[in-house]
Amino acid sequence: MSGNHFSTASKLSKIFITSAVFLVCLLLILIFIPRATVHINVNSEPVVKSFKVLLDSKLTTPNYMLSVIPTHVVAQQKNISTNEPINGYVSDKHLFRNINGHTETFLFNPDDLKTLAVNELNSVLQEDRELQVKNLKINIVNSVLNFDEGYAEIEAMAESVVLPKLPTQKIRDLHLKNPEDIKQKFLSFKNVTSVDIDISPSFWPFLPYFDGNLVFSVDTIY
């Protein structure tokens, strides 16, 4: 009698342990495996600004506050091109002159002009907008050249696009688990046109338990 009781208790114990292990494994799978990517589609906005720069051959380091950058005057070279950098420096069609059959031009570091352009564009942005530097374009549209004194005054046009600055970390910190809730959060921002959420596995109805499995992807519509 006691042997049968022990055998039954042992079987029940094994079933209980097996069930507990199964439930723990299932819980761990549900916690760690689900992943989600929130695709946020936004409209970009153009931003354009003209600005003036002084190229000064007496300068060795740029002064971005005063919009002054160093330059080198290169003379008597037939192979000067606006497309090919010379030791990291470039020129522009507005910075050339031909004298007695020889070419002279001002060379400058394009990174200096890029820094000034980014500063100028950022100065006109609203706080909830973010400049996309990868889309930056700069054109020199006018110039006043003084080769004798070694300086040039140029007017440049900078243009790029801006995107809304989305508070993704703040929304992440809300720990929302309903996909519709997080979708509506992002749709409440200007320039957000649509939000799509991919959850893996596809049958799982909630956002991941751990924030590390939740990815935000901002897709731009130009």
Half-sphere exposure of 143 (CA within 13 A, CB side): 18
pLDDT for the residue numbered 23: 74
Would the CA dihedral through 168, 170, 173, 174 be positive or negative?
A: negative
pLDDT for the residue numbered 215: 93
- pLDDT tens track of the chain, all 222 residues? 555 555 665 666 666 677 776 676 666 665 557 899 999 999 999 999 999 999 999 999 999 999 999 999 987 555 555 556 677 899 999 999 888 778 899 999 999 999 999 999 999 998 889 999 999 999 999 999 999 999 999 999 999 999 998 999 999 999 899 999 999 999 999 889 999 999 988 888 999 877 788 999 988 866
pLDDT for the residue numbered 107: 94
- The DSSP 8-state label assigned to residue 76 in this structure reads S
Alpha carbon 92 to its chain centroid, in Å, reads 28
pLDDT for the residue numbered 190: 86
pLDDT for the residue numbered 83: 57
pLDDT for the residue numbered 218: 87
Beta-strand (E) ranges in the chain? 35-43, 45-56, 68-70, 72-75, 96-99, 102-107, 129-146, 151-164, 192-200, 214-221
pLDDT for the residue numbered 57: 95
Q: For residue 166, what are the contacts with CB-CB under 8 A and spacing of at least 6?
A: 40, 42, 186, 189, 192, 216, 218
pLDDT for the residue numbered 9: 58
pLDDT for the residue numbered 75: 78
Stated pTM of the model: 0.73
